[in-house]
Chain A
Amino acid sequence: MPKTLKLQPKAALLRRFCRLEGRIPSYTEMLTLFGYRSKNAVHGLLGRLQQAGYIRKHKGKLALTARLSGAVKLLGAVPAGFPSPAEEELVDTINLEEFLVRRPEATYLLTVSGDSMVEAGIYPGDIILVEKGTTPKPHDIVVAQVDDEWTIKYFEQDAQGVRLAPANAKYKAIRPKRSLTIGGVVRAVIRKY
C-alpha cells in the first residue's frame, strides 16, 4: 500500500519554523524539519505544498502564502505584476471574529443556562456574545438585572415603560419594579456541534 502523505502536519512544522526563525528554512534544514533523508523528498513535498496553496514560488524562491503565514495579504505588498482578480477579492474578506464582534473592547462571552429564549433560538449551553455599554433598542435581546435577578429577554418599551419579554410560552413578560440594569445587548449566538 502506498504511504499517504499528510500535508497538514508538514505545513504546521513549516509554519512553526517560520514563526520562530522569521525566515523560510533551507533545503538542508527541511531535511531535519520534516524528517527526510533526501532532498528529493523535500522537493516533492514542496511541490505538493505549492499545489495545496501553502507556499508559492516567487522569482525562483520560495514564499509563504497567507494560508501558511496566516497574515492578511494586502494588494500593496505584491512586488511585481498585476494582482489576479482572485487575490483582489480576498482583500475584502473578514474573519469570523470580525464578522461576529462589532466592538471588540466591549464584547464578552456568556454561557446560557436558562430556557427563557428558546423560541428565539437561544438554548441552554449556547454561548452568546454580549456587548456592553450600548443602549438597547426595542426588540433587542438583552442580558439584564431586574430587581436583583439576572435574566435574558427581549427588550421592549411601551407606554408603561420597559417590558422584558421572554421567547418561551412557559414564561410571562416582566416589568422591573425597583431596579433595572442592562448588562449588555446580545449580538450573536454560538453553538458548536
Chain B
Amino acid sequence: MPSAPFMLESFPRAILHLDGDAFFASVEQAVHPELKGRPVVTGKERGIIACASLEAKALGIRRGVPLFAARRRHPELVVLPSDYETYSLYSRRMFAIMRRYTPSVEEYSIDEGFADLSGLRRVFHASYQAIARRMQADIQKELDITAAVGLSLSKSLAKLASKFRKPAGLTAVRGRHIHLFLQHIPLEKVWGFGHNTVHLLTRYGLKTAYDFAERPAIWAQRLLGKIGGELWRELRGEAVYPICPEEKSAPASISKCKTFTAPSANREFIAAMLIRNLESAFIKLRRHRLRARAIAVILRERDFSETGLEAALSRATAATHEAVPLAKALFARVFQDGKEYRATTIILGKLEPDELAQPDLFEDRLRIDKLAQVSQAVDAVNERFGKHTLSLGSCLFLERHRQTERDERPVRKAALLPGETRRRRLAIPRLFIKV
C-alpha cells in the first residue's frame, strides 16, 4: 500500500508504555517458582478466572471464563485464590523501577504504566530503545516477572506498541514509521474506540488505524467529536494526553461486589451480604475522606442477569448507619422471593470531599454527629481487632453461609510470620520456596 509518512523525525517525544504480562499469574509464579511453566489461573475466590498465566492462555483459557468450565476441560490447571496484597507490592516495585529512569511515571493501573523518557538519551548515554530495554531487564531480574514495552510518540501509540509484541516484547515506533505500524492495527485495538465507534468507522470503509489517521483531521473531528480529533492527533504522533505523575486522585465512585458460592434464595443471607458490602464500601469511603450522596444496589441472578436501583441520599454522608435504611429499602424493591441470586453489589456515587460539609438548616445535627462518631468508633475498634470485628447485626446472617473452597485464603494470609496479624503484615513480598 503506497503511503506517505506522517513525519520525518524519529522521537520528538518519547513516551513509554509498560504492561506486566499476565500480571497476577506471573506474580504467583514468581513467589511460587515451582509453578513456573504450569498453567496457573487466579480468581479462585470469585469462581471466575481473574488472570491466566501465559501457559494457561496457550491452552485457550481467557479471563472471565467460569472456573468450573475451564477445569472440566483442563484438569491440570493450577487454581489460586487472588492475593492482592502481594500483587500490589509487586506493582509498587515495578513503578519504583520505572522511576529510577524518569520521575515522570503515570501509574495507569496495577499492572501498566506510562513514562515520559523525552530528553533522557543524554543522561543515560543510550538510545530510547536501550533505556526501555534496561528498564525491562531490571524488572525481569529483580521481580522475576516479564513486561511488554511499547515506545513511541504519544500515549495511544505507545499503548498500541506494547500490545504488539507480547509477552516480554519491546516495540519502538519512530515518527517516520508510524504510518507503517498503524497499517497493522485493526480499529478495535485503538485505545478509546469502543465497538460502537468501530462499527461506525467500518461503515465509512475504514479497516485499520492507518485508514483513520490518514483521513483529514476535520473529518475525524466532525464524526467523533472532540475525542475523535484528539485520538487522530495522538495516532499521528502528537502527545495530546499528558503523563500524569500524580497519584490517581480520589475515586469518582466506590463499588463493592461479592459473589457467593452456591446461588442462594435466602432473603436474610442476601441482605446480609449486601450490608457487608455497604460496610466495606463505607470503610473505603472514610479512608479516602469522602462522603457519598448516592447509593446503587445491584443483585445478580443465577443466570447472570442483573437488576438494580439507584437512589440519592438526602445529604452526603460518611456514616454507615445513615445509609443502611436506604440500602435496605432499595434491596426490598429489587429482591424477588423465590429467585436465586449469586452476587450483590453496592455502588457509592456522587462522592465529595469530607471537608466540604455544609450543615443543613433543618437536619437533625445531633443525630448526624452521633452517627459520625459511631462510625469513627467502629473504625477504631476494627483497626485494632480486625476488619468487620464490629459490624451491623444484619451481617450475623452471613454465618449461614457454608465454607467452600472459595474461602481459601492466599498463603500469605494463611501462614503469618510471627508478629504479623490478620490486618497488618510486612510490606515485603514473601517467596514460598521449600529450602
Residues of A within 8 A of B (CB): 16, 101, 103-114, 116, 127, 129-130, 132-133, 143, 145, 150-152, 183-184, 192
Contacts and interface: CB of A to CB of B under 8 A. Distances in A.
29 contacts: A16-B380, A101-B428, A103-B142, A104-B93, A105-B96, A105-B142, A105-B143, A106-B141, A107-B428, A108-B428, A108-B429, A109-B426, A109-B429, A110-B430, A113-B435, A114-B434, A114-B435, A116-B435, A132-B141, A132-B143, A132-B144, A133-B138, A133-B141, A150-B33, A150-B433, A150-B434, A151-B435, A183-B431, A184-B431
A192 B416 CA distance: 13
A109 B96 contact: no
A105 B144 CA distance: 11
Nearest to A103: B142
A133 B380 CA distance: 41
A108 B431 contact: yes
A110 B418 contact: no
Contacts of A103: 142
Given A108-B429, A132-B143, 11 more contacts: A104-B96, A105-B142, A105-B143, A108-B430, A110-B435, A129-B428, A132-B142, A145-B33, A152-B435, A183-B431, A192-B419
Contact of A109 (B33, B34, B417): B417
B433 A110 contact: yes
Contact of B430 (A111, A145, A150): A111
A116 B435 CA distance: 8
| A103, A109, A129: residue with the most chain B Cβ atoms closer than 10 Å | A109
B433 A109 contact: no
Nearest to B94: A105
A126 B25 CA distance: 27
Contacts, number: 66
B434 A113 contact: yes
Nearest to B384: A12
A183 B430 contact: no
Contacts of A151: 435
Contacts of B97: 105
A19 to B, nearest CB: 11
Nearest to B417: A127
A110 B93 contact: no
Contacts of A143: 431, 433, 435
Nearest to A107: B428
| A16, A103, A116, A145: residue with the most chain B Cβ atoms closer than 10 Å | A145
A189 to B, nearest CB: 13
A192 B429 CA distance: 19
| B143, B419, B428, B430: residue with the most chain A Cβ atoms closer than 10 Å | B428
Contacts of B96: 104-105
Given A109-B429, A132-B142, A150 B418 contact: no
B138 A109 contact: no
| B31, B142, B430, B432: residue with the most chain A Cβ atoms closer than 10 Å | B142
Contact of B435 (A106, A108, A112, A133): A112
A68 to B, nearest CB: 18
Nearest to B96: A105
A130 B93 CA distance: 15
Interface in B309-362: none
Contact of B431 (A16, A105, A109, A114): A109
Nearest to A105: B93
Contact of B417 (A104, A111, A112, A133): A111
Contacts of B138: 133
A143 B144 CA distance: 14
| A101, A133, A184, A192: residue with the most chain B Cβ atoms closer than 10 Å | A133
A109 B96 CA distance: 19
